[in-house]
Amino acid sequence: MSAPRADDLLEDGTIAGRNTELTNFLEEAGIDSRTSTAALEIDDVLQQWRRRVNKRELGSAALAAFGLAEEVDLAQLDVMMAIWAPASTFGSDDAEEEVMVSTVAARLRIDPSRASRLTSDLIARGLAQRTVSQRDARRTLVELTERGTAIIEAVRQFKFLVLGEFLSGWSEEELALFVPLFERFVTWTEEAGDIGNNRFPDEINAISARLAQVPGAS
């Protein structure tokens, strides 16, 4: 479990009170203390993970290693991956999915106008190009140029050299256990909204009522 942050500390210098209050609340909602404790620990790990992911350490290191930082930034790299990668990378079962600007927006979960701007910039830089769909001539697709593809492949090779080296220290049993569990875990946010609203309506309403009583509510 990660070290407590200063703003997590209570006036008496402990964090136990807040966590106990939360686990008691969850237990009343039908979630046992073992599960709630694990959830707290997982959230601590995720907070650390988010900070590292937001810094994009691997992507930045790869661009720096190949002298590409002036040619491509991280946002453009994301778009290039969204154009290049198979649909399955983004959770789609359609192996033959054609890539349009709207596809890029959906894969990266960004605004279509932003996806359009980033894609147009890549085209201007010679890293992507527009093509016409073989299925429907009215449909404009985007694909990477030879240079764009070479950059993506280089970055991926760098990434998996680093990740492969790290995972090589894991046992076969650890990998066999971790991968399916991680795949199972990453789907939880897709269900979170429905779970909260449908499974715990009374708790959600009670929290909303308490929130409305706090000074400063609009």
Delimiting residues of CATH 1.10.10.10 domain(s) in the chain: 58-155
**How high is the pLDDT of residue 10?**
46
What the block records as the tokens of 22 is 């939360």
pLDDT higher than threshold 80 for residue 88: no
DSSP alpha helix (H) spans, the chain: 16-28, 33-55, 57-65, 74-84, 101-108, 112-124, 146-167, 172-185, 188-194, 201-212
Predicted confidence (pLDDT) at residue 99 exceeds the cutoff of 80: yes
pLDDT tens digits, 117-146: 999 999 999 999 999 988 888 889 999 999
What is the distance between the alpha carbons of residues 104 and 6, in angstroms, rounded to a whole number?
Answer: 40
Half-sphere exposure of residue 23, counting CA atoms within 13 Å on the CB side? 16
What three-state secondary structure class fits 170?
A: coil
Q: Which residues contact 111 (CB under 8 A, 6 or more apart)?
A: 105
User: Average of pLDDT values for 191-216?
Assistant: 80
Q: What's the chain's Rg over C-alpha atoms?
A: 23
Neighbouring C-beta atoms of residue 176, cutoff 10 Å: 11
CATH 2.60.40.420 matches 58-155: no
Per-residue pLDDT band for 218 (boundaries 50, 70, 90) equals low
Mean pLDDT of 11-40: 81
pLDDT tens sequence across 144-185: 999 999 999 999 999 999 999 999 999 999 999 999 999 888
Q: What distance separates the 2 farthest-apart alpha carbons in the chain?
A: 69
